[in-house]
Amino acid sequence: MSDTSKMQPDTYSAASEVGAVRTRRTWSQRAWITLKKAPFSAWLGMIIIAFYVFVALFAPLLAPYAEADSSFAAYAPWSSDHLLGTDQIGRDVFSRLIYGARNTMGIALITTILAFVIGGGFGLLAAITRNWVDQVISRFVDVLMAIPSLIFALMLLSIFGSNAISLIVIIAVLDSTRVFRLTRAVAINVVVMDYVEAARLRGEKLGWIMRREILPNIMPPLVAEFGLRFCFVFLTIAALSFLGVGIQPPTADWGSMVRENASLIQFAQFDLRAGITPLIPAAAIAIITVGVNFVVDWFLHHTSGLRDEH
Amino acid sequence: MSKDILLDVKGLKIEGYSDEKWNPIIKGVDLQLRKGEVLGLIGESGAGKSTLGLAAMGFVRAGCRITAGSAMFDGLDLVTAPESQKRALWGTHLTYVAQSAAASFNPAHKLIDQTIGATVRDGIQPRADAERDAVKLYDSLMLPNPETIGDRYPHQVSGGQLQRVMTAMAMSSRPKLIVFDEPTTALDVTTQVEVLLAMRKAVREHGAAAIYITHDLAVVAQMANRIKVLRYGEEVEEAETREMLSNPQQDYTKSLWSVRALHKEPEQSEDIVLSVNNVDAAYGKVKVLHDVSIALPRGKTVAIVGESGSGKSTTARVMTGLLPPSKGSVTFNSETLPNALAGRTKDQLRRIQMIYQMADTAMNPRQTVGEIIGRPLEFYHGLRGRAQDDKVVELLHDIELSEEFIDRLPSELSGGQKQRICIARALAAEPEVIICDEVTSALDQIVQEGILKLLLKLQKEKGLSYFFITHDIAVVEAISDEIVVMNQGQVVEQGLKTQVLNPPFPDYTELLLSSVPEMDPDWLTDLAQKRGMAGAT
DSSP state string for B256-289: TTGGGG----------EEEEEEEEEEEETTEEEE
Q: Which of A143-152, A236-245, B56-65, B527-536 has the lowest mean pLDDT?
A: B527-536
pLDDT of residue A121: 92
CA-CA-CA-CA dihedral for B282, B287, B291, B297, to nearest 10: -50
Q: Tell me which chain B residues have a C-beta less than 8 angstroms from the C-beta of A23.
A: 19
CB contact under 8 A, B65 and A310: yes
User: What separation in angstroms does the CA of B237 have from each of B35, B47, B179, B457, B510?
Assistant: 21, 13, 20, 33, 36
A186-190, A267-271, B106-110, B322-326: which range is least confident on average?
A267-271
Average pLDDT over residues B166-193: 85
- B359 vs B261: CA distance, rounded Å: 25
- Tell which wins on pLDDT, B216 or A169: A169
| Spatial distance between the Cα atoms of B55 and B9, rounded to a whole number of angstroms | 9
Map A39-106 to HEC letters: CHHHHHHHHHHHHHHHHHHCHHHHCCCCCCCCCCCCCCCCCCCCCCCECCCCCEHHHHHHHHHHHHHH
Res A184: pLDDT: 94
* Beta-bridge partners for B469: B304, B437
Q: Are A182 and A141 in contact (CB under 8 A)?
A: no
A1 contact residues in B (CB cutoff 8 A) = 234-237, 250
- Return d(Cα B212, Cα B235) in angstroms, integer: 16
When the pLDDT of each residue in chain A is averaged and rounded to a whole number, the result is 83
Which residues between 39 and 78 in chain A have a beta carbon less than 8 angstroms from any beta carbon of chain B? none
Over residues B290-306, the pLDDT tens digits come to 999 999 999 999 999 88
B393-444 confidence digits (pLDDT tens): 999 998 888 888 888 888 888 888 899 999 999 999 999 999 998 888 778 7
Q: What are phi and psi of B218, to 5 degrees?
A: -65, -35
Please give the backbone phi and psi of residue B350, each rounded to the nearest 5 degrees, phi first: -60, -35
* pLDDT interval class at A304 (50, 70, 90): low
Q: Is the pLDDT score of A73 beyond 90?
A: no
Across the A/B interface, how many CB contacts are shorter than 8 Å?
A: 108
pLDDT for the residue numbered B381: 92
Pick from B473, B432, B491: nearest CA to B314:
B491
Residue B451 class from Cβ within 10 Å (0-12 exposed, 13-18 middle, 19+ buried)?
buried
- Return d(Cα B402, Cα B411) in angstroms, integer: 17
Task: Report DSSP state, residue B90.
Answer: B
At A44-64, the pLDDT tens digits run 999 999 999 999 898 888 888
Distance CA B413, CA B420 (A): 10
Are B139 and B146 within 8 A, CB to CB?
Answer: yes
H/E segment holding residue B229: strand B226-231
User: What does the pLDDT average to over B38-60?
Assistant: 85
Please, which pLDDT band fits residue B2 given cuts at 50, 70 and 90?
Answer: low
Question: What pLDDT does residue A15 have?
Answer: 45
The DSSP output letter for B501 is T
What are the φ/ψ torsions at residue B383 (nearest 5 degrees)? -80, 135
Say if residues A128 and A191 touch (Cβ distance below 8 Å): yes
Q: How far apart are alpha carbons A188 and A211 in whole angstroms?
A: 14
**Binary contact (B416, A17; C-beta < 8 A):** yes
State which amino acid sits at residue A105: M
Query: Which pLDDT score, from 0 to 100, does residue B407 have?
Result: 85
Interface check for A33 against chain B (CB to CB < 8 A): the answer is yes
Question: Which amino acid would we find at residue B532?
Answer: G
Rounded Cα–Cα distance for residues B257 and B303 (Å):
21
Interchain CB distance below 8 Å, B417 and A18: yes
**What pLDDT is attached to residue A18?**
47
Closest listed residue to residue B279, CA positions, set B216, B313, B325, B223: B325
> With bands split at pLDDT 50, 70 and 90, how would you rate the model's confidence at B450?
confident
Average pLDDT, rounded, for chain B: 86
Which site among B361, B381, B446 would you substitute to test the A interface, given the most A Cβ atoms closer than 10 Å to its Cβ? B361
Angle, in degrees to the nearest 10, between helices A93-129 and A40-57? 110
| Residue B320 near chain A (CB below 8 Å) | yes
Q: Does A36 touch chain B (CB under 8 A)?
A: no
pLDDT confidence of residue B435: 94
Query: H helices of chain A, where?
Result: 2-7, 14-18, 27-36, 40-57, 59-62, 93-129, 132-146, 149-160, 164-191, 194-202, 206-208, 215-243, 254-260, 272-276, 279-303
Note the pLDDT of residue A179: 94
User: What is the ipTM for the molecules in this complex?
Assistant: 0.75
Q: Evaluate whether B274 touches B330 at the Cβ level (below 8 Å).
A: yes
Q: Which residue of A10, A17, A129 is the best one to mutate when testing the B interface, meaning the one whose CB has the most B CBs within 10 A? A: A17
Output DSSP code: residue B105.
Answer: S
Distance between CA atoms of A244 and A158, rounded to whole angstroms?
Answer: 11
> What's the pLDDT score for residue A12?
43
Among B31-35, B460-464, B518-522, the range scoring the smallest mean pLDDT is B518-522
Who contacts A206 (Cβ-Cβ below 8 Å, separation ≥6)? A128
User: How does DSSP assign B430-479, residue by residue?
Assistant: --SEEEEESTTTTS-HHHHHHHHHHHHHHHHHH--EEEEEES-HHHHHHH
Chain B residue with CA closest to A34: the answer is B20
Q: Tell me the C-alpha distance between A268 and A215, whole Å.
A: 52
Single-letter residue type at A48: I
User: pLDDT of B138-161, one tens digit each?
Assistant: 887 778 888 888 899 988 887 778
Q: Do A194 and B356 touch (CB under 8 A)?
A: yes
Mean of pLDDT values over A284-288: 91
Does the pLDDT at position A163 exceed 50?
Answer: yes
In terms of Cβ atoms closer than 10 Å to its own Cβ (0-12, 13-18, 19+), residue B247 is: exposed
Q: What is the pLDDT of residue B193?
A: 85
What is the tens place of the pLDDT at every residue in B368-389?
899 999 999 999 999 888 889 9
- The residues, ordered by sequence, that sit 6+ positions from B123 with a Cβ below 8 Å of its Cβ are none
Half-sphere exposure of A245 (CA within 13 A, CB side): 19
In this prediction, residues A303-307 reach a mean pLDDT of: 58
Q: Report the alpha-carbon distance of residue B535 to residue B197 in Å, rounded.
A: 6
Confidence at residue A9, expressed as pLDDT on a 0 to 100 scale: 38
**Residues in chain B closer than 8 A to A200 (CB atoms):** 322, 341
Tens of pLDDT, residue by residue over B251-281, are 888 777 665 667 778 888 888 899 999 999 9
- Find the helix or strand (DSSP H, E) in which B42 lies: strand B38-42
Residues 6+ apart with CB under 8 A from B161: B143, B144, B149
Say yes or no for a CB contact (<8 Å) between B356 and A33: no
Q: Do the Cβ atoms of A140 and A174 come closer than 8 Å? A: no
